Structure 1
Amino acid sequence: MRFRDVVLVSLLTGVAAMSQVEFRSHGIGAPVGEVRGAAAVKTADGRCLLVVVPLDLSPRGYLLVVDVDRGETTQVAYPEGVPFAGAFASLLSRNGRFYTGEGGHLMEFDPATAAFTFHGKSHAASQHMVGQAIIDGPDGRIYIGTHPDCRLVSFDPETKTFQDHGQVDPAEHYFNTLAYDSAGWFYGGIGTARMSLPACHLASGEVRQLLADAQRTVGSASVYTGTDGKAYGVAGAQWYRLFEGKAEPIERAAASPKLAGGQIGYGGRIGDWGDGRTWKVSLETASVEITTPGAAEPRRVALTYTSGGAQITSMIAGPDGQLYASSAHPMHFVRFDPRQDLMTDLGAVKDVGGGNFCAMAVQGRFIAAPSYAYGIFHLFDTTKPFDGGYGADPNPRELARWKEDICRPRTAAAHPDGRHVFMAGFAGYGRVGGGLGIVDLETGTATLVTHERLIPNQSTIALKVLPDGTLVGGTSVEAPGGGHTQAEEAVLYLYDWKRQEVLYQGSPVPKVRDLVCLEVGAGGRVYGLAAGGTLFVFDPASRQVVQRADLSSFGGPLRSSLLWQPDGRLYAAFTRGLVRIDPATLEGSWVAPSPVPVTAGLAILGGRAYVASQATIWSCPLGQ
C-alpha cells in the first residue's frame, strides 16, 4: 500500500465506522505487466543477462535482471523516492551501465552487480524522457532531452552531476530524438503540434531553429548521429545533413549510416550476447524465449518476480450479467462473474497493445468499446467466446478506425434504436479537437464527424443519448499528446446526429475546462459532473442549467462515474468512494467511503456497485 493510501484510509476510518456498507476487494483484474524496454548484456565475467524495465501497479518500481543461462531472475527495487511513473526511454551505455528514467528522475544501474549507482532529478521541470532522446555523447557524458519542457541536459557519470544546456523549444513538448556532430552541435527531433528541429551549440549556448515556419506542420522531426561526424534529420519528407548548426537539404540516399548506439525507445529491445542466440521477453507470459542457432525449439526461461498488475481504466455491466473491464499497459480484457465470484483475464486484443478500451457501451448482446492509440471501435459479442480479435470470425471485431481524429477515445454510447453506437474523444498527437464516430451495426456504415463540424477545437469526453434520440455531449478543451489548446471553457451541447446539426451549446459550469461525465435521468434531464466536483442539472426542453451543487468534498469525479438507476436514484463514484445523490436536491450522501483511492468506475450489477483502485476491482452493496 502506498503512503497516500495509508493517509486516506486513516482519514476515512471514522466515516467507514458509521456505515454498515463496506467495500470488498475482488483482486487484481489483469495480473500482468508491460515491458517498457529491455537490453541484452554480457558482463566482464561472461554472464549473459537481460535487463528488463517493467511497468505495472506495484507500489515501488523495479528492474528485472535475468541470467538466461542459470534461469535466475533478480528483482531490484528502485531507489527510495523515485516514482513508478512508467519509463519511456532507456540507454545501454558504452560505459557498461544502464540508464532509465521515471518521473523526471534519471537512474544509473550496473547490470554486473544488479545495483543502482545513482539517481537524481535531471531538471526541476522534467517529467519524463521520451522516444530515444537519451544518448552517449562524444565526451563520455549522457545527454538527455526532457519532456515536456524540451531542455537539453547532460549527466557526467564520473562526478554524478547534471548540467542544464537550456531549453531548445519553448512551445513543443515531445523531445523524441537527439543527435550530435563533430563540431560541438547537438540537434533535437521534436514535435508534435509543430515539427521542430533545433540546433544547440554546447560551448556558446546558442540555439537555432533549423526549420522554416512553413515547414513546421503537425508531426515530429527526427534526427540521428551519422558515422561520418555529421548528424542527419528528417522533417516530413525532407532529409537534411546537419553540421555546424546548419541544415543542408539532401536526398534520403545521401544520408550516412546511423552511428550504433544503445538508446531504447518505449517497448524497445536491443542487444545480443555475441553467440548467435536471439531472445524474446514478455511480462504477459512471464518468460524469456532463447533461440539457439540449429536448435529445434526455443528454450523458455520463466521469470520469477512479484507484479502489481495492470491498471484498470474502464468497466461496464454486461448484458449477460457479468462485469467487463479493460486494463492499460498492457491492455487486457477482463471478465468478472459475480455469481461465481470468478475473475478471468481474457487476454489482449489485436492492435491495442499498451493502450486500452477507454470506454464501453452496451448495445443488445454487444459491448462497443473504443481503444487508444489507433482510435479503433471494437464490438464484442458476449454470447461468443473471446478470441482477441483474430481469425475469420474475430471477437471482438473492428468496426472502424479513426487514428487522427479520435486517437484517445474517452466515451462511448449506444442509441436506443438498437443499431447505432457512438464513440468520441481526443485527437491524435499534436492535434487539437477530437471527432465523433458513428457506426450503424446493421449496415456497417461508419461516419466521422470532425470537431470543425461539432465543437471546434474541443473534444467530446462525455456522451449520452436523450429519450428522443438526440445526443448530449460534454467537452474538454485540453489537447493531450502535445497539441496547442485553443478554447478556454468546456461546453455542453445537443446534437442531431442524423442531420449532423448542433442544436445547442453552452457552458454549464463557468471557467471549467472538462465536463467529466454525463447521465440522463427521469424526464430526459441531464446530470453532469465537471472537473473539480460541481454537479449540474440541464433541462433539454428549456435548454437551461436548472441546478448546481458542489460535491468536491467526496473527492474528484471520474469518467463514466454517474449512473441513474430504475428506482430513481443517482449514484456517483468519486475518488473517495461511492455516493448516492438525491435528484431533487442534489444532496450527496455516502453509500460507502472506499478504503483505497478509487481510480475508475462506475458499474452497477446485481445490487452492487463496482469500481477499480489501480489494478484491483472492488465492489460494495448499494444499500437501502
Structure 2
Amino acid sequence: MTADRFHCIGIPVKADETRSAAVCRDGEGRERVVLVARGYALIVDPGTGACRQLVFRDGEREYPYAAMSGGDGLFYTAAGSLLAVIDPFRETFVHRLSPAPGEECAGFAFAEDAAGFVYATTYPGAKLLRLHPGTGECRVLGRLDAEQKYAMSLAIGADGWAYAGIGTTKAGIAAFRLSDGAVETIRGSAAAVRGSGHVHAGEDGDVYGSLPAEDGEFGSGAESSGVRWFRLRGGKAEPVDEAEVSPSVYRGAGYRKLHRDLSGGRSIVGYELADEQLVVAEPDGTRTAWRLAYEGGGTALSPLAAGPDGGVYGTSNHPLHLYRYEPPTGSLRNFGGRIVERGGGGNICAYAAQGPYLVGVAYPGGTVHVLDTRRPIGGEPGAERNPRLVYADDRIHRPRAAVPHPDGEHVLYGGFPGYGAVGGALGVLHVPSRTVTVYGHERIVPHQSTLALAVLSGGDVIGGTSIETPGGAEPLAGEAALYRFDWAGRRVAERWTPIPGAREISLLAADGNDRVYGLTSDSTLFAFDPDSGRVLHRQDLSAWGKVVRHGLLSTVIGGKPVVLGLLSRTLFAIDPHTFTVSLVAELPKEATSGIAVLGGSVYYGCGSELWRYQWEEGQSK
C-alpha cells in the first residue's frame, strides 16, 4: 500500500523563538516577567524562577510582534488578529479580543496614556486602536497613513497626540490628534527616504522620534548615526541633537524588545526560550540564571537539501537551528542556533550543492553560508568555523532559490529585496574564492524578484520571477516572467510571459532535454521550451494543494529520469517524454517544505516534522 511507504522520522528542532517581553509591577510592588512566543505567553517570577504558561487560544499560531506592561500591572500583546490582555499575578487572561477585522496583526506596537488607555497599531492597514482595559472596549480610531503598511513604534504624548513610526517605502512619523483624528505626517526632508521612522516615550516624559537621513542631508554628527532626531510636540517635530534624546523605556530592537526593567537595582540581562534561561543581574553584580520551564512545540522546518555527503540538511524557521539527518544510521542531529552566523530568528531558505560544498542562502539580510561537508560542523570562531558566512546583501534579503552551475565552480541564487524595496537581485557566488557578483533587478527583470532558477545543459540559466513585494512596497509590475540569463555574456538574453496574468513563478526545474517545468503561486504547472519560446503543456494542479517551497526538482529514481513535484497534499511526477502528470501519492499529513531525494527516498517537511516517502523499487511515476 502507498500509505505504508510514508514514515515520520521525527522532529529535528524543538526551540521556540523569543519575541518581546516586559516586566509587570502591581500596586504591592510584586514583579513578574512575561515573555511571548508563537502561541503562548510565559509568566516568570524573577524572585523564584517559577513559570506559568498561558496559551493564547486554540489554533492561534501567529507570531507576536510587540508587548507592553501597563501602569495597572497588566500585560498587553497581540498575535495575528488576537489582542490579549493578561493579569500576570492572577495568571489569567483579562481580555482576548479581535478588534480589527481584516487586519493580519492587531498589535505591531503598544503605548499607554496618562489616563490608562492602551493604544496599538495594526498591520497592514496601519490603523490606530484604543483599548479601555477595564471594560475591554476597543475602537479603531483611524488610519495612520494611506500608503504605508507598517507602524512599528508608538508613543502617546501629554499633548493629546499619538505618534507612530511608519514605513517601509517612505520613512515617516505619523502624528494623530486624538481629539478629532486629524493626521499630520512628518518626513524630515523633501525627498522620500526608504525605511521606517521611529518614536519612543522618553524617561523625561517627552516623545522623541527619528528618521533615516538622506546621503549628505545633515552634518557630520547626523551622518555618523545615519538618523535625524526630533522632539515631538503638538503634532510638530523640533530637531534636537542625539545627545539631548531621553532614553526609551524599551531595550532591544525590532520584534525583540524588553519593556521596563526590574526594580531595586536588579536587571534582566538575558532571556532566551531556546536556551530555557532567564538571567537576572543582582545589585552586587552577581547573576542568577533561572530555568524557563515551558512546553514548546516543534519548530517549523524550512526547505531541505540533499548534501554531497549523503545527508539531508535543513534549518528550522524562527529560530534558525541547523540539523542533519543521516539515512544509513537514522541519526537526526540538531546543531543548535549558534552554528549559523547571524542566524537568529531567520532560516536558510534555499540550498545548492557544488562539489563537496553545500551553499545555503538565508533570511534575513541575504546571508550566504558555505558548508564543507568533508569537515566537522562547528561554530568556533576563526578559520575552522563550518559553515562560514561569506557574504550578505539586502538586495536579496529574503532568498527563495539557489542552483549549482554545471561549471563546477558557481552557485546562483535569488529572492525578494529588503523592506520597502521593489525588485530582488540575482547573485552569483564563485565557490572557490567565496566572492559574489550581484545583478540588480533592473538588469534582470525590472521591478521583479527572482524566485526560481534552473540551469540548461549549455550553462545558460532560466529564472522565474515574482511581482510580489513582501517588504511593504506596492508592486510595480503586472505579471511574472521567465528569463534566459546568458552565462557567457552575464546578461539577460530573452524574456517571456509563459502564463499571462500569473503573479509569481514559484518553482522551476529543467530536464535532460532542456525543457523547463514551472509552478506558479496558484499551482498552475507548465512545461516550456526555451529554444522556441513555446509553452508545451499547461495544467491546473490546485486540487492537489498549495505550492511548497523547493517542491520541484529533476532527478533520477529507479534508474529513470523524472520531474518530481510536491504540493501541500500530494506527491506527483511528470514524465519528461510525454509531459504526463501522475499522482504518486496523497500525503498523510500536509507538507509545508520540500524536497530532497536520496537513495530512492523522498524527504520533506510537515510543519516541524521530517518525513520520508520510500519510492517503490522500479517505480517510475
Provide the identity percentage. Answer: 36
C-alpha displacement of 1:97: 0.4
Q: Distance in 2 between matches of 1:259 and 1:73?
A: 28
1:377 to 365, 368, 377: 368
Q: Distance in 1 between matches of 2:271 and 2:318?
A: 15
Counterpart position of 1:78: 56
Residues 143, 45 of structure 1: alpha-carbon distance in 2 compared, 3 angstrom cutoff: closer
What is the TM-score normalised by the length of structure 2?
0.91
Is 1:175 aligned with 2:151? Answer: yes
Q: Distance in 1 between matches of 2:269 and 2:209?
A: 31
Counterpart position of 1:556: 546
Structure 2 SS opposite 1:524: coil
What is the TM-score normalised by the length of structure 1?
0.91
Do the aligned partners of 2:150 and 2:472 also contact (CA within 8 Å) in 1?
A: yes
Alignment-mate amino acid for residue 194 of structure 1:
K
Counterpart position of 2:170: 194
Q: Distance in 2 between matches of 1:299 and 1:228?
A: 31
Is 1:207 aligned with 2:183? Answer: yes
1:336 to 322, 325, 340: 325
Residues 277, 168 of structure 1: alpha-carbon distance in 2 compared, 3 angstrom cutoff: closer
The one-character-per-residue Cα deviations of 1:295-321 (angstroms, maximum 9, x if unpaired) are 76x444333322112110110111111
Is 1:117 aligned with 2:94? Answer: yes
C-alpha displacement of 1:123: 1.2
Q: What does 1:449-488 align with in structure 2 at a 5 Å threshold?
A: 449-488=439-478
Counterpart position of 2:44: 66
Residues 263, 593 of structure 1: alpha-carbon distance in 2 compared, 3 angstrom cutoff: same
Alignment-mate amino acid for residue 400 of structure 2:
R
Do the aligned partners of 1:477 and 1:489 also contact (CA within 8 Å) in 2?
A: yes
Residues 277, 209 of structure 1: alpha-carbon distance in 2 compared, 3 angstrom cutoff: closer
Residues 42, 253 of structure 1: alpha-carbon distance in 2 compared, 3 angstrom cutoff: closer
Do the aligned partners of 1:610 and 1:618 also contact (CA within 8 Å) in 2?
A: yes
Residues 368, 145 of structure 1: alpha-carbon distance in 2 compared, 3 angstrom cutoff: same
Q: Distance in 2 between matches of 1:177 and 1:230?
A: 15
State how many pairs are aligned.
597
1:319 to 286, 293, 308: 308
C-alpha displacement of 1:102: 0.5
Residues 143, 366 of structure 1: alpha-carbon distance in 2 compared, 3 angstrom cutoff: same
C-alpha displacement of 1:380: 0.5
Is 1:33 aligned with 2:16? Answer: yes
Q: Distance in 1 between matches of 2:481 and 2:443?
A: 15
Q: What does 1:91-490 align with in structure 2 at a 5 Å threshold?
A: 91-128=68-105, 133-211=109-187, 214-226=190-202, 230-237=206-213, 238-255=228-245, 257-258=246-247, 260=249, 266-270=255-259, 271-276=261-266, 278-294=268-284, 298-348=287-337, 349-388=340-379, 390-403=381-394, 405-490=395-480
Q: 259-268 or 586-595: which moved more? A: 259-268
Counterpart position of 2:525: 535
Do the aligned partners of 2:265 and 2:283 also contact (CA within 8 Å) in 1?
A: no
Segments of structure 1 that go 5 or more residues without pairing to the other structure are 1-17, 56-60
Residues 314, 388 of structure 1: alpha-carbon distance in 2 compared, 3 angstrom cutoff: farther
Structure 2 SS opposite 1:289: strand
Structure 2 SS opposite 1:166: strand
Alignment-mate amino acid for residue 583 of structure 2:
W
Structure 2 SS opposite 1:425: strand
The one-character-per-residue Cα deviations of 1:426-467 (angstroms, maximum 9, x if unpaired) are 111100000011121223332111111111100001012111
Q: 215-224 or 143-152: which moved more? A: 215-224
C-alpha displacement of 1:38: 2.2
Do the aligned partners of 2:83 and 2:107 also contact (CA within 8 Å) in 1?
A: no
Residues 265, 475 of structure 1: alpha-carbon distance in 2 compared, 3 angstrom cutoff: closer
Counterpart position of 1:570: 563
Counterpart position of 2:216: none
C-alpha displacement of 1:294: 4.6
Q: Distance in 1 between matches of 2:384 and 2:505?
A: 38
Segments of structure 2 that go 5 or more residues without pairing to the other structure are 214-227
Counterpart position of 1:87: 64
Residues 209, 273 of structure 1: alpha-carbon distance in 2 compared, 3 angstrom cutoff: closer
Residues 364, 218 of structure 1: alpha-carbon distance in 2 compared, 3 angstrom cutoff: same
Q: 558-567 or 509-518: which moved more? A: 558-567
C-alpha displacement of 1:229: 5.8
Q: Distance in 2 between matches of 1:317 and 1:621?
A: 15
Please provide the CA RMSD for this pair: 2.2
Counterpart position of 2:579: 586
Q: Distance in 2 between matches of 1:228 and 1:285?
A: 35
Do the aligned partners of 1:40 and 1:50 also contact (CA within 8 Å) in 2?
A: yes
Do the aligned partners of 2:168 and 2:194 also contact (CA within 8 Å) in 1?
A: yes
The one-character-per-residue Cα deviations of 1:122-147 (angstroms, maximum 9, x if unpaired) are 3113222566x201122210011111
Higher relative contact order (CA 8 A, sep 6+): 1
Q: Distance in 2 between matches of 1:226 and 1:565?
A: 59
